[in-house]
Amino acid sequence: MNDGDLYRDDPDFADVECPDCGTTDVTVASLFGSTTSEVLFQCDRCRSCFNWVKWRHRLPPVPAENR
Amino acid sequence: MSTPVATAEPAARTALQNDLLCVADTKLVLGNWFAECVMNGKSLPDFAAMLGMCTASYGQTRAIYHWLDTLDHSYGHLEHGRGRAEIRSMDLLDPAPENWQDFIVSTWLAEQATWSMASGFLRNPDRTVAGIARKIGEEAYFHLKYAAGWFRIIEASDEEGELLRASVTRRFPLALRWFGPLDAADDLHAAGLRDDPLPDIRAGFVGEVRSALKPFGVDATGVEATFEADWRPDARRTGPLPERLFEVIRFKDQEIAR
């Protein structure tokens, strides 16, 4: 199992588009890309690789609110 | 310029600095875990992830040290002036990982526990503290996602699942201990410097752990922390940092560090 399989249905990445061909058929190649703040993707259609900035101000569940 | 923390009662001001230093020092040791273990990664994405999480952890440590420097601490002393008895990291991270599954469980528990503690400062009246807490959360979001990915891989193997369960048995009580005795009063919350009472945060942490470990048949209910005679409430740890671990995490050359 590689990162692509692990994160294939991850809702955080549902809208990520290939900057070259525009498809959303993209696969996570590495959860941490060329910098810590990026995810490395590969396009399933045109095969180009691209980095995607990950910060969307999302936080893990706040424990005290979910107990 | 005075801040809400600078003008707080001395006991509350000290307690807030103590808890943030415990988070910072745990992130220091956690960052070193990632650095030391990077060559044990299973693939290139693991190397990228571990180095990324290493630098993020150091960044969080240094952000907190800088904030503490504006109050009752000195940045230089915090970063390279302390002995092993002064480091306040979670003792969950004292024993080195025994295998890959233990590494994933230990780093995940440390991330989850430190995020839980930081989440109690998201609405802190000091905007810097609230901002640091939020940044820790944003970074922890992807650190926890990385661990969740590995849990899915480990879940597919009975043998690896057994190693994970053994690790949880050893490490989870140590993570719980970090939150202190259940009956301890939360003076920080009473002073308005922690959003929620610590017992609520601890209960939420247990809930997150139980939920994540459900696929492995681990029932974390009823697990309790024990407190030895040398438990240090202000450091949230037992005794000093082990000598060998301190040798790994300490700054080796102060001249170069400058």
| CATH 1.20.1260.10 assigned to B10-257 | yes
User: Is residue B187's pLDDT more than 60?
Assistant: yes
- Residue found by looking up tokens 């990664």 in the block: B41
**Average pLDDT of the residues in B150-158:** 95
Check whether B229 has a pLDDT greater than 80.
Answer: yes
Separation of alpha carbons B173 and A26, rounded Å? 41
Answer yes or no: is pLDDT of A66 > 90.
Answer: no
Q: Which of B63-67, B131-135, B174-178, B218-222 has the lowest mean pLDDT?
A: B218-222
Structure tokens at B207: 């809930």
Per-residue pLDDT band at A1 (split at 50, 70, 90): low
Which residue intervals of B83-240 are DSSP H helices?
100-119, 127-155, 158-178, 187-190, 198-213
A30 to B49: CB separation less than 8 angstroms, yes or no: yes
3-state secondary structure A29-48: EECCCCCCCEEEEEECCCCC
Q: Is B252 a residue whose pLDDT tops 60?
A: yes
pLDDT in tens, B72-81: 999 999 998 9
Q: What is the pLDDT of residue B192?
A: 95
The complex scores an ipTM of 0.91
Average pLDDT over residues B154-166: 96
Closest CA to B170 of B62, B238, B94: B94
B110/B103 Cα distance (integer angstroms): 11
Terminal-residue alpha carbon distance, chain B: 28
Q: How much is the mean pLDDT over chain B?
A: 94
Question: Span B104-124, mean pLDDT?
Answer: 98
CA distance A60 to chain B (A): 5
3-state class (DSSP) for residue A54? coil
Determine contact: A31 vs chain B, CB below 8 A. yes
Q: How confident is the model at residue B257 (pLDDT cuts 50, 70, 90)?
A: low
In a mutagenesis test of the B interface, which of A13, A28, A39, A62 is the best target, namely the one with the most B β-carbons within 10 Å? A62
Instruction: Using the predicted structure, report yes or no on whether residue A2 has a pLDDT greater than 80.
Output: no
Cβ atoms of B17 and B69 closer than 8 Å:
no
Instruction: From residue B72, give the alpha-carbon distance in Å to each of B4, B5, B17.
Output: 14, 11, 8
Q: Edge-to-edge strand order for the sheet containing A26-30? A: A26-30, A38-43, A49-53
User: What pLDDT does B254 receive?
Assistant: 63
A42 touches chain B (CB under 8 A): no
DSSP code for A5: H
